[in-house]
Amino acid sequence: MGLNATAEGKPTRYTYAVIVHSLFVIQILAVLCALAKPAYAYVDPGSGLLAFQVISTTFAGIIFLIRRNVRRLFGAKRSRPKSEKATMQ
């Protein structure tokens, strides 16, 4: 008996929904591939650099957010310089 089966061994509604959804996505992709047209356009080197910049900045932003959340999770806080501690007292 699988994870998504009833006691009688029949698939559940969830299993049918996943199958129907997967087939729908495959059909949409097939239609999009069938209707694809060639693009007669010039792509200069600046376009490639722009794509590289978008990908690299997205990656850097993701790393920054993960690092910040990990620091917050483990409670790592920056210590204040001695000059600030003296003025606060």
Task: Read off the pLDDT of residues 25-71 as tens digits, 9 standing for 90 and up.
Answer: 999 999 999 998 887 877 787 888 888 999 999 999 999 999 988 88
**What's this model's pTM, rounded to 2 decimal places?**
0.38
Can you tell me the distance from the alpha carbon of 43 to that of 49, in angstroms, rounded to the nearest whole number? 11
Tokens of 21: 């959804």
How high is the pLDDT of residue 28?
Answer: 95
Alpha carbon 8 to chain centroid, angstroms: 38
What mean pLDDT do residues 6-11 have? Answer: 69
The answer on pLDDT for 79 being more than 50 is yes
Question: Using a CB cutoff of 8 Å and minimum separation of 24, what contacts does 23-30 make?
Answer: none
Query: Are the C-beta atoms of 40 and 46 separated by less than 8 Å?
Result: no
What ranges in the chain are assigned the alpha helix state H?
A: 13-34, 45-74, 82-88
Residue 3 has pLDDT above 60, yes or no: no
